[in-house]
Structure 1
Amino acid sequence: MSSAPPRFGANYTPSQGWFHHWLDFDLDEVRADLDSIAGLGLDHIRVFPLWPLFQPNRTLVRPRAVEQLVQLADAAAERGLDVNVDGLQGHLSSFDFLPAWTRTWHRRNIFTDPDVVAGQAEYLRTLAAALADRPNFIGMTVGNEIAQFAAAPHPDPDRITPAQAGSWLDRLLAACEEGAPGRMHLHAEYDASWYQDDQPFTPAHAARTGAVTAVHSWVFNGTAQRHGATATATEHHAAYLVELSKAWALEPHRPVWLQEVGAPAPHIPPEHAAAFTAATVANALDCPDLWGVTWWCSHDVSRSLADFPELEYTLGLLTNDRRVKPAGQAVARIAAQWRDREHRPAPRTCALVVDAGDEETAPRRSVCAPGGPVFEAFARLTADGARPTTVLASRADDTDHLAARGITEVVTPEQAGLPARPATRTAP
């Protein structure tokens, strides 16, 4: 079990032009943004190339765009910031960015068409190879929440099976490894992978594929609406996803990266954003095996840009003129408190049973969603003073598995629903 200090970072949203800044790349503006991020005491950023701009044709990855990405990474290094790069954008803040060679007259499935997948692999390999010799390069994330293209509620999904999703992930992660051997390459899906029964990207994919597990925590998914801005379930939602992921992990201490988390208004009122931020991060830090926390996002979106959902404009730790917001002050305080400090939370000895059906496909994973029995039981246990984790029903009697994770008692959702401290059974 690692005891390294937790990492603290931000998803880099350029203050000028949002991600469209790649069209008019200005290194001086980037440097100013990175100065403001480093000023918070953060140690890394997550960076988002726009796929259609970097690979406008299936056989063309633009050298100039790749050069600009390397310049950004080098500027980050000068400020003590490590860099993770998301390759396939993909989807950002309600907008889809897919190259023309996958749409309309060239419409083909981005997960299964052999030519498209070969093009994606070459693109990811090229980006990884360009950064492979940079000491501050963490590794590649295949793409940002790309699972959303594979099922509803996307208006035009590319339908696939879980087996096809797994094959696609294996192929693209191998391309990242080919480009930059030994780096921390991973994939990142939104919470539908944990909560939506028919999402082909499954909890098993998230918790078993790639170097670490990534979770993205957004309380506008029904959590804040159901429980309120200051409720236990809301302030512990990120911690819940971290611990939920461990039910499917094959390694007892697989690292988990809280790669996205934010304070979306009006679900989290602006005047409560700092308190929510502090509580969310503190609760996540009470999870063993947490690699780090990367806040969404670094800078607000400028009001000069149209058609974003209202909540997307105000998620930054800094304004789009680089002033630190209360949430940014909260993250800066936490980062300072944890600098060079070991992260060694006590084991979570109480495990909540998750029965989502077959563990590979999780056809009943909605039991884990807000309002579902696992979700609500986790919130009740936490409010009652417990520090729960989760275990699959198929492993609830596996003595070796429980011991490796430090679990000493197992609780069903029904037991957790009792009005007093739930009855438990001792782990075998």
Structure 2
Amino acid sequence: MRFGVNYTPTHGWFHHWLDFDLDEIRADLDSIAALGLDHVRVFALWPLFQPNRTLIRPRAVEQLVALTDAAAERGLDVAVDGLQGHLSSFDFLPSWTVTWHRRNLFTDPEAIEAQAAYLRTLAAALRERPNFLGMTLGNEINQFSGGPHPDPHPASATRTGAWLRRMLAACEQGAPGRAHLHAGDDATWYRHGHPFTPEQAATVGAMTAVHSWVFNGTAQRHGPAGRATEQHAAYLIELSKAWATDPARPVWLQEVGAPAPHIPPERAAAFTAATLGAALDCPHLWGVTWWCSHDVDRALADFPELEYGLGLLTHSRRPKPAGRELARVAAGWRAEGPSPALRTTALVLDPQPQPQTPPRTRAQDQLQDQAAQAQVRTACAPGGAFFEAWAALAAEGARPAVVLASRAADPAHLAARGITETVRPSEVPLGAVPPPARRTSREDGPHA
């Protein structure tokens, strides 16, 4: 089990690459290591590393290697995100992909080759570093592919699937055998029609990554101390396994945090403890990487308000209650080394497509499949029938797994996952379903 943090530099935030100061970075990493964490996830600002389609700046790559070496000196492993992409409501795309030089990130052949070269170069620069875990393609880069992004790069699921495999192959060429993967926001699981799909998340790459944020309607519906809120991360972990073809595929809780005001600051430590307790009760969890290491300096303008206080440590590198709680849980887990039991009861996820009147054409079949997929993702989102049924079971003290209806009658699949009982959402008494609430996006701000 790994416990780490998404590294947000105290000196200049992610703009620190412009004024790279290794002493400041070492001080940041010292404060992270003092919490007893074992890895950091770091973010290269894409326009600074690849300002021209055929120019990958050697000095920027050297700085990334220097940061990785500084982490190694403190016993910290490093996972690297390449295509940044998108961070805390700000987009960072190189000029050769926008306006007069507009290229679709996911479909333009020249853009695809340039991205592959960039990711391969970063991976190759780190391949000899024993503390290099692997590449994540980018931070929630899926959000560029459609709404609600104000300037999307549209692509079909077929094209995004091809893009993912091309990018991951480039990472593998650069650093063979490392844990290369991709990661998206919860649109992957919750937004109908989104071209990055649950199947891609759960089958492509070395492991599945989930990002859990309760400002997506969960905390608004269930409250900061609601069971659905405290188990949202565990829900996403278990939901992702429904699409996995490997029953033992590892899942990385790559982002999770306590966003105010949805989680009041005085509840941050309790939320951290409850979230970790539920997530660590999920079999095949690779690790937890909290968002984020340090608070954002309030001298920096225009962040959504919730972004400023998400750190485990203050901007002056002092531990906060959530940071101390994560440190306590990590130390306890390492001392006791518990292994969570398999989840024997599974909630059945069924798209329940609308029946069609025969005869049916191939086009009608495709439309029905699309409608079914839309229903699945809508049902899985906060307020959806499946989400609320899972939350109700969890509130009763159950430990529900998730299985697709197409696999619920497959004895071999159930046995491989340790499932001995299946339950349909219609069999779960929900009581009073909380009323709809406005989703507060992490992107609220200049693009809201």
* TM-score > 0.5, shorter chain as reference: yes
Q: Deviations over 1:234-287 (max 9, x none)?
A: 000000000000000000110000000000000000000010011101110000
CA distance in 1, matches of 2:272, 2:23: 30
Which residue identity does 1:416 align to in structure 2? Answer: V
- Tell me if the contact between 2:79 and 2:133 (Cα under 8 Å) persists in the aligned partners: yes
| Aligned counterpart in structure 2 of residue 337 of structure 1, from 332, 347, 371 | 332
1:27 to 22, 30, 35: 22
The number of equivalent residue pairs is 414
User: Aligned partners of 2:318, 2:370: CA distance in 1, in Å?
Assistant: 46
The counterpart of 2:221, out of the listed 193, 214, 226, is 226
1:109 to 1:147, Cα distance in 2 relative to 1, 3 A: same
* Aligned position for 2:264: 269
Q: Report 1:4-43 matches (<5 A).
A: 6-43=1-38
CA distance, structure 2, for counterparts of residue 261 and residue 58 of structure 1: 33
Identify the residue that residue 409 of structure 2 maps to in structure 1.
397
In structure 2, the CA distance between the partners of 1:140 and 1:359, relative to structure 1 (3 Å rule), is: farther
Deviation at 1:418?
5.9
TM-aligned CA deviation for residue 359 of structure 1: 9.9
Structure 1 distance, partners of 2:79, 2:371, is 28
> What's 2:445 paired with?
none
Deviation for aligned residue 1:361? 8.8
* Residue of 373, 385, 396 corresponding to 1:373: 385
Kept after mapping to 2: 8 A contact 1:109/1:158: yes
User: Superposition RMSD on alpha carbons, in Å?
Assistant: 1.3
Inter-CA distance 307–409: structure 2 relative to 1 (3 Å threshold): same
Equivalent in 196, 219, 222 of residue 191 of structure 2: 196
- Give the structure 2 partner of residue 57 of structure 1: 52
State the alpha-carbon separation in 2 of the partners of residues 277 and 21 from structure 1: 28
- Normalised by the size of structure 1, how large is the TM-score? 0.95
In the TM superposition, what are the counterparts of 1:328-367 in structure 2 within 5 Å?
328-339=323-334, 341-356=336-351, 358=369, 362-364=373-375, 365-367=377-379
Partner of 1:416: 428
Q: 1:424 maps to what in 2?
A: none
Secondary structure of 1:49 counterpart: strand
- Equivalent-residue separation in structure 2 for 1:58 and 1:288 (angstroms): 42
Counterparts of 2:397 and 2:304 in 1: how far apart (Å)?
A: 37
Which one-letter code corresponds to 2:373 in the other structure?
A
| Partner residue, 1:387 | 399
Correspondence for 1:209 among 197, 204, 210: 204
Q: Secondary structure at the match of 1:339?
A: helix
TM-score, normalising length: structure 2? 0.91
Contact 1:355 / 1:393 at 8 angstroms: preserved in 2?
A: yes
Cα distance, 1:108 vs. partner? 1.3
Following the alignment from structure 1 to structure 2, what is the Cα–Cα distance between the partners of residues 331 and 359? Answer: 41
Say yes or no: does 1:82 pair with 2:84: no
1:417 Cα deviation (Å)?
2.5
Could you list the structure 1 runs, at least 4 aligned residues long, displaced by more than 4 angstroms after superposition.
Answer: 357-361
Equivalent residue for 1:66? 61
The sequence identity of aligned pairs, in percent, is 72
Alpha carbons 1:162, 1:361 under 8 Å: kept = no
Cα deviation, residue 338, structure 1: 1.4
In structure 1, list runs of 5 or more residues that go unmatched.
Answer: 1-5, 420-428
Q: Distance in 1 between matches of 2:250 and 2:30?
A: 29
The answer on 1:284 being equivalent to 2:279 is: yes
